[in-house]
Structure 1
Amino acid sequence: MKLVLHHAHEARSVRVLWLLEELGLDYELRVHDFFDKSLRSPEYLAINPAARVPALEVDGAVMCESGAMIEYLCERCPEAGLGRSAGDPERMAWLDMLHYAETVGQHLANLTQSHIVLYEPAMRSPTQISLETRRLAKVLGRLELILGDGRDYLMARGFSGVDCAMGYGIDVATRFLRLDAMPHLLSYLERLRARPAWQQAQPPKGAPRIYRKAFYEVPDG
């Protein structure tokens, strides 16, 4: 299987890069800059017309959705045990969490747009940012409940591909939301950050980043 991952540091492509490392697969990494318009080049638009990352080339075919990539790669590598096949008792919960990661991601994308992409203060709506921050807290509250039953990862049987999907989102969420009231979620994130594959997926020193502040406060107003 020949794999080429198109990636930007701290973007959703981290999910797939992390999973590739967990699976121990060989891949080619092509790094793009989130801000320099290279994702809108004719060459990249021929790969992903939406001008976003990730894009994953698999033996010449292209996938553009990170959740689908996670499901596909877990299915291609069943021996790793990071997926849940049809008939598995955890299949329903696994798929639910995989897609719930997109619910979290929706609010993160809106907050990233407001805090970072709309770089002029006059462009931002404090009301909208405040609402999105509260919505993010609400959807993360479900994860706090799930993790509160003593499990280490989202699936009771242990680490899986959905932790790559969701863990990335929780990590980004700490830029916008303090998780002090969610101790199970914080402990979970610490476990994820300690994994060698997670660390391999992080930006190298000096690399361009999307999030240049440790925390983005809700603006006054």
Structure 2
Amino acid sequence: MQITLHHAHEARSMRILWLLEELGATYELRSYDFFNKSLRSEAYLAIHPAGRVPSVEIDGKVMLESGAIAEYLAEQFPDVGLHRGPDHPERMAYLELLHYAETIGQHLANLTQGHIVLYEDWMRSPTQISLETKRLAKVLGRLELLLRDGRDHLLASGFSAADCAVGYGIWLAPRFVSLDKLPHVAAYRDRLMARPALQKALPPEGAKRIYSKDFYEVPDV
């Protein structure tokens, strides 16, 4: 299988980079700068017309949606055990959590837009940033309830592609919200950070990052 991942450091494509490392897959990585116009080049727009990451080329065919990419790739490496097939008792929970990553990602994207992409104070809406911060904390609260039964991962059956999908959001969330009131989410994040595959998906030393601050304060409304 020939796999090419189009990626920008710290963007949602990190989910797929992490998953590929967990799967032990052989792949080619093509990295782009989130802030320059490389994602809007004619060559890249021919792959992803919206100029976003991730996009993955698999044996000459292109996939663009990270949830679908994660689901498909996990199925291609059945011996690794990161998917849950149709007959698995946690199949429903697996699929739902895998795609819950986009619920988390929506609020992270809006906060990234508000704090970083809209770089001048006059461009920003403190009200919008405040609302999105509260919404992010609320969707993380669902995971706090799920994890309080003592499980190590999202599924009782163990680590899966859903952890890579959701885990990206858990990795990024403390840039915007405190996890002090979400102790089970915080402990889960620590477990994920200890995984060698996640460490390999982080930006290399000296790479240009999207997030330059450890924490982005909500501006005064």
TM-score, scaled relative to structure 1: 0.99
Q: How does 1:143-154 map to 2 (within 5 A)?
A: 143-154=143-154
Give the equivalent residue in structure 2 for 1:159.
159
Return the offset for 1:69.
0.7
Give the equivalent residue in structure 1 for 2:140.
140
Give the equivalent residue in structure 2 for 1:12.
12
1:191 matches 2:191: yes
Return the offset for 1:123.
0.8
Give the equivalent residue in structure 2 for 1:129.
129
Return the offset for 1:171.
1.2
1:12-57 deviation per Cα after TM superposition (whole angstroms, max 9, x unaligned): 0000000000000100000000001100000000010010001100
Q: How does 1:76-91 map to 2 (within 5 A)?
A: 76-91=76-91
Separation (CA, whole Å) in 2 of partners of 1:111 and 1:143: 20
Give the equivalent residue in structure 1 for 2:108.
108
Separation (CA, whole Å) in 1 of partners of 2:205 and 2:83: 32
Q: Find the residue that maps to 1:184 and give its secondary structure.
A: helix
Partner AA of 1:54 in structure 2: P
1:74-99 deviation per Cα after TM superposition (whole angstroms, max 9, x unaligned): 11111111000012100000001011
Return the offset for 1:212.
0.6
Separation (CA, whole Å) in 2 of partners of 1:99 and 1:195: 22
Separation (CA, whole Å) in 2 of partners of 1:56 and 1:170: 23
Give the equivalent residue in structure 2 for 1:22.
22
Separation (CA, whole Å) in 1 of partners of 2:43 and 2:216: 34
TM-score, scaled relative to structure 2: 0.99
Separation (CA, whole Å) in 1 of partners of 2:67 and 2:54: 10
Separation (CA, whole Å) in 2 of partners of 1:107 and 1:87: 33
Root-mean-square deviation (CA, aligned residues, Å) is 0.5
Give the equivalent residue in structure 1 for 2:56.
56
State percent identity of aligned pairs.
69
1:106-141 deviation per Cα after TM superposition (whole angstroms, max 9, x unaligned): 000000000000000111111111111001111100
Q: Find the residue that maps to 2:175 and give its secondary structure.
A: coil
Runs of 4+ in structure 1 over 2 Å off = none
Separation (CA, whole Å) in 2 of partners of 1:170 and 1:199: 14
Q: How does 1:34-53 map to 2 (within 5 A)?
A: 34-53=34-53
Q: Find the residue that maps to 2:70 and give its secondary structure.
A: helix
Return the offset for 1:170.
1.1
Separation (CA, whole Å) in 2 of partners of 1:198 and 1:91: 24
Return the offset for 1:143.
0.1
Count of aligned pairs: 221
Partner AA of 2:185 in structure 1: L
Return the offset for 1:220.
1.1
Return the offset for 1:186.
0.3
- Structure 2: gaps (5+ residues): none
Separation (CA, whole Å) in 1 of partners of 2:100 and 2:54: 18
- Structure 1: gaps (5+ residues): none
Return the offset for 1:172.
1.1
Q: Find the residue that maps to 2:56 and give its secondary structure.
A: strand
Give the equivalent residue in structure 2 for 1:71.
71
